[in-house]
Each structure stands twice: as structure tokens, then as C-alpha cells.
Amino acid sequence: MALLQDQTSLLSLPIEQLPGEGYRRRQLAGWLYEKGARQWDEMTDLPRALRSEWAERFRISEFADVAPYPSQDGSVKYLYTLLDGQKTEAVYMPYLNRKTICISSMVGCPAGCTFCATGRMGFGRNLTTAEILDQILFAAHHQGHAPREIRNVVLMGMGEPLLNVENVFAAIERMLHPQGLAMSPRRITLSTVGIPRGIYKLAESGLGVRLALSLHAPDDETRQQIIPTAHRYRIAEIMDAVRHYYAQTGRRVTLEYTLLRGVNDHDWQARALAGLFKGLSVHMNLIPWNPWEGAPHQGTPKAQILKFAATLEQQGIPTSVRWSRGRDVGAACGQLALKQPA
Ligand code: SF4
């Protein structure tokens, strides 16, 4: 039997390039993306000889090991060990009738946001298309669901998806493909810290997914303090790209804003934020900051969070506060750092 690393990854192949022809290829796609098979033995309607031949050449799984960490609130953090020994994470959230998974696009992240445990780790490498997809397939299988029962995907885990455009877009194509995960583009959200050229590419890609923008400050000075790589792109450039995205797709843009005490939670910043997004269809998610060991920040007190939200609302920006899930197992926003919970 060939080593897993030497085999071709089935999930890396576009559906039209899976092995087999016509009917056989459709059967294989069905086993992978509809039934969620993770072993060749499960594919009982494929001839045994064909299964053995394919099992020599192709691999189904991208992980050497997976450790699930269930949170008290029902979400589960998955710590995936990849075939080269690197690690990444996803978080499964079983909201009522809305099974959602937050997946990663990288090992670590190069953006280095000061409030984010992943940023503190630095950059490992980009995930492959197959590694991005298999986070969904494994979690569905582990939860006892067919893959298509997971109806919402957010690319908001480790990494900046718009700095791994080729692999991320190919993975999204497989999520949308009728013989793939057959998802609606409205149920896939790509979250970016604000990479203008990536936002233009997403607008032109025709994928039609939702865009979430994590600006985290309405002014360049504050933004550069908390997102070290932000000096490369000014807010005005990012806003041009976002307006272009909106003009091309007509999709409402989600805004993600992590509130840090005394840094980006002042009233004037709420008013400035509202000014930036005037005339655009947006929805603001305020994220109370989730603490992690050694972090250089404090969370904004609840009263100020509610005041910040009220100011945005008064200025015409629909706003929700996203009290995070999975805090107890380090699965909440900004906490992903490959740590095993105590
Ligand atoms: S908040 Fe997002 S972009 Fe910033 S370091 Fe963390 S994972 Fe990267």
C-alpha cells in the first residue's frame, strides 16, 4: 500500500476530474460529498477490484489525527493534525436547524492581529483545497451527519482566506457544485481582515458568497496598532474594494468588529464607523473580545458594548452583539491557537 502522502488526494480533484467515467465518477462523488464515506470499504456499490485499484492510488482523508473538544454549549472544536504534522482547527456549531462550521484556510496566520491567539502563532502555511474541504467532511461524519446536512460554512477560523485565494476558491467551488456539497452561496461566508486585491478577485470570481469584513477600527491609526499588517492597505482602499464587491454582487456585507477596551470602543469610533458604511447595505456583528493567556488586551465592559451598539443603530447601521460560543474550550472567535483545553 502506497504511503498516504504519496497518493493523490481525491478532494484535491475537481469533481469532473475524479477517477472513473460517467456513472462511476458520479457514484464516487456521491460517496465522498453526499454520503461522506471515509473508507473505501463503505463504497459497497463500486466493484471490489476497482476499489482496490483506487485505494492504491488515491487517498480520501487529509488528516493523520483529529482530536474533538466538545464545549458545554454544544459546539465542538476539532484539532486536525495534517499529514505533514502541522495542525489546524475548525469549530462545529449546532445552532437550531442551522448546523454551521467555522473552518480554517491556513496553519496560523500572517496578519498578526494583537487580539487574536492565531495571530500570535505566526504563519505556518496555506491549507490545500483538500484540507479546507475535509474539515467539513470529517466534522459532519463525526457528528453522524451526511455532509450536506451542514448548511452553513464560515471561513473565519485560522488564517486570512484572501491570502490563499486559489485553494480557498477551489474549495468553495466544490462546496457549491451540485455533485459536491451542493450548498447555496448565501450560506457560505468568507471573512477577511481587508485585502483589497482579494476582495476584487472575489467580486470577479462569480462565486457569489457572502463577504464579512473585519475592520476592527474606523481609522487607520488605531487599525495599524492592532493589525500590524494593516499599514499595507489603508481603510479608504479597502472601502473602495468593498463598494465594488457590493456593486458587482448586490450582497449585503457583514461587518465583524472585535471590541477592545479603551482601544476601539469609544463613542467617536462608533460614529466614525457608521459614517464609513453610510449608503451601503451592511450588518454589523460586534464581538466581545474573548480572553486568552498572555493577551495584551482587555474586553470592553458589557455596558459599553451595548452603548456602542446603540450608537451604531442610531446612525442607521443594523447591529448585533455576537456573544461567542465555545469559550470554555478555546473555540471562540480569536481564540484558535491549537491549544488543548485543560
Ligand atoms: S483575527 Fe483573523 S486575520 Fe487577524 S490574526 Fe487572527 S486569524 Fe489572522
Taking the centre of ligand 1 as the mean of its atom positions, its distance from the CA of residue 333, in whole angstroms, is 9
**CA atoms in the 13 A half-sphere facing the CB of 298:** 6
Sequence spans of domains, the chain: 4-59, 63-329
Alpha-carbon distance 87 to 64, whole Å? 10
For ligand 1, what atom is nearest to the CA of residue 191?
2
Confidence (pLDDT) at 6:
84
- Per the annotation, the verdict on 293 as an active-site residue is no
Which helix (DSSP H) or strand (DSSP E) does residue 258 occupy?
strand 253-259
Confidence (pLDDT) at 329:
65
Positive or negative: CA dihedral 175, 181, 184, 190: negative
Alpha-carbon distance 217 to 202, whole Å? 23
CA-based nearest residue to 321, from 332, 311, 306, 331: 306
Phi first, then psi: what are they for 259, rounded to 5°?
A: -90, 125
Binding residue ranges for [4Fe-4S] cluster? 109, 113, 116
* Non-local CB neighbours of 188 within 8 Å, separated by 6+ positions: 152, 153, 154, 155, 172, 175, 176, 207, 209, 210
301-311 per-residue burial string, b: 16 or more CB within 10 A, e: under 16:
eeebbeebbeb
List per-residue pLDDT tens for the chain, 342 residues long: 567 778 999 999 999 999 998 999 999 999 999 999 999 999 999 999 999 999 999 999 999 999 999 998 889 999 999 999 999 999 999 976 789 999 999 999 998 899 888 878 889 999 999 999 999 999 999 999 999 999 999 999 999 999 999 999 999 999 999 999 999 999 999 999 999 999 999 999 999 999 999 999 999 999 999 998 888 899 999 999 999 999 999 999 999 999 999 999 999 999 999 999 988 999 999 999 887 888 889 999 999 999 999 999 999 999 999 886 666 666 656 666 666 655
Taking the centre of ligand 1 as the mean of its atom positions, its distance from the CA of residue 307, in whole angstroms, is 26
Answer yes or no: is the C-beta of 113 below 6 A from any ligand 1 atom: yes
Answer yes or no: is the C-beta of 118 below 6 A from any ligand 1 atom: yes
Alpha-carbon distance 223 to 272, whole Å? 13
Of the residues 116, 223, 324, 335, which should be mutated to test ligand 1's pocket, given the most ligand atoms within 8 Å of the CB? Answer: 116
Q: Which fold has domain 4-59?
A: DNA polymerase; domain 1 (1.10.150)
C-alpha cell at 173: 467551488
Answer yes or no: is the C-beta of 116 below 6 A from any ligand 1 atom: yes
SS3 content of the chain, % helix, strand, coil (to 5): 40, 20, 40
Confidence (pLDDT) at 66:
98
90-128 per-residue burial string, b: 16 or more CB within 10 A, e: under 16:
bbbbbeeeebbbbbbbbbbbebbbbbbbbbbbebbebbb
Q: Domain spanning 63-329 has what CATH number?
A: 3.20.20.70
